[in-house]
Each structure stands twice: as structure tokens, then as C-alpha cells.
Structure 1
Amino acid sequence: MKAGDAITFTYSTPAPHPKNWIGLYTDPGNGPVDQKYVGPSLKWAYIPSGSGTARLDTDGLEPGDYVAYALAEDGYAWLAQPAKLRIVSSEPLRFVTSSIPLRNARAGSPYAATVRGPGQGRGLRLPQGQRPRLADRRPGRHDHRHAARLGLVQDGHRHGRG
């Protein structure tokens, strides 16, 4: 999911309580280890009913790995296994430089270079009419995965188990 998007969790519990809650922590981080307090959550919301949905805004969170805990009665006892998720930047991918020096090229000889990095594996191309051209012709690997085990809902679709 992208930074700034809200996270929606579906939940159900046989032990509803007005002070049951979901807390979001960095992963690894200060989530409740062995169901005991380690540090404060970054975001949280009460989940008082036997079942329902809870929403956590991600405003102000940096891209990275996070874990959500469903916790009992304003405490740190787990109601379910934690759900891991990844927040990615909402900024477009870009290279940090507009030019790349090319090494060991000879005038009049064919030349190719590859620039690898995040993205769709398309590489870079110099403006038309300029040589040499940089291109990565191999398919890129871009991880669009996000994981959640407690019923993460994104874009109106439910992922994981509830």
C-alpha cells in the first residue's frame, strides 16, 4: 500500500470488549513481545464489537515494514496473530542523477551499458540522437506484494484471512 492510504482491517473476536484495539508498530520494532508492552504504537483504533472493521490512517508514516496487533482490553494480550504489511512511497520512482558517466567507450565502436535499480526494469535511455544508449532489456522484478493475516482490506478487496 502507498504512504498516505488508509489501512482497513476486518476483525472478529469471541471476546468483544469496549477497549479492545488494533495498534500499528514498525517491524521490527516495539510491538508487544510475548504479549507485553515494549513501546508505544504509531497508530491505533478501538475494535469494541464482536466483528467489524477498523481504519488506520498512514499519514506521517515513512515507507517501510509494519506490523498490526489486535490487542485486548487496553492491554497487550493478543487477540490474534499479528498482521505484517509494507508501506511504499507515494512518490514516483526516479534516478537521483540526470547523467551517468560511461566508462571504457571507444569512438566508432558499438557500446552498451546497463543501469539497474528499482522500477519496472526498463533502464534508462539517453535523449534521441545521442549515443550510446542505456537499456536493460531483461524483465525487472518489482515487488508489489503486501501481506496481512488479519483481513487487510485494500482498494475494496479483502486480502489475508479474517
Structure 2
Amino acid sequence: MGGRPLTVATGRAPFEVCTLLAALAVGTALHLGAVVPRSVSTAMPPTIQAVWATGLIVAGLVGLAGVAVPRRRLLVGLGLELAGIGVLGTTATMYAISLYAVSAAQALVAGGFVTALAVASWWRWGQIVYDLRRLGRAAQAGTTVEVPLLVDGDR
């Protein structure tokens, strides 16, 4: 053992939690009959639209499950969060592409926000992959791992 402890941040940031909740709500609304955006209905065949809407639900459920896992089960939580954020990045990328493909320059406002969500998702995905690799190396070296606690008793 040696060196300073390894610190890993989990996905309990309000931005990530709210985004995952929104993905779950929007995907559910789409499956319950909400109007599909014109860009999606134009750019994606019906089967892909269903996969996209289901992906939003999966991203929300799996990502939130990962965020909710107690920190003493860090690897499980990060693995679930990785999967959820990866699906969120995929669905946001699909939507951004459909916006730009259908509306081109008219999609700059909505497309800009959706593209930012996709980039943020993939960025977080990369952070998790990096942290998982660091955890693997730390485990081999016998390094202590510290996870910042946001709530007392969440161990």
C-alpha cells in the first residue's frame, strides 16, 4: 500500500439525476402515446422510433439505479451508471442527428441543447470508464478508495 487514497466521484449530481429522470419521463410518455417529434418521425423508421423511446426509459431506469446504489457497492453502481449514461448518450445522439437531418439550420436551437446533452453524456461515460480503470489498478496495488459522501450514513 502506498500513496494517497484514490477518490472517485459518483453520479449523484443534480444535473445527472434530473436528466435521467427526464429521459425516463419522456420515454414513458412516448410509449403512452405522446406525439413523436416531427424530426424523429421523419428521420427514423417506426421500429427505430420504438427503440429510441425504449432507450430513453432504459437510460433513466438503469442510470438512476446506478446512482442509487449504496456507495459501499461502488463497482455495481458505476457499472449501472455507465450503462444508463451510455444509452442516454446514444438516444440523445440519435435525436440530435434526426433534428439536423430533417431541419438543418432550423435545428440549431433545439439541436444545440440536445447535442450538448449527448456530449455531456459521453463525457460522463468517459469519466466512469476512467474511474473504473483507476479502481482496477488501485485494487491490484492495494490502494485505499475514498468516495465522497453527500449524505451521512450512505456507506
**TM value normalised by structure 1:** 0.23
**TM value normalised by structure 2:** 0.23
Q: Choose between structure 1 and 2 for higher RCO, CA contacts under 8 A separated by at least 6 residues.
A: 2
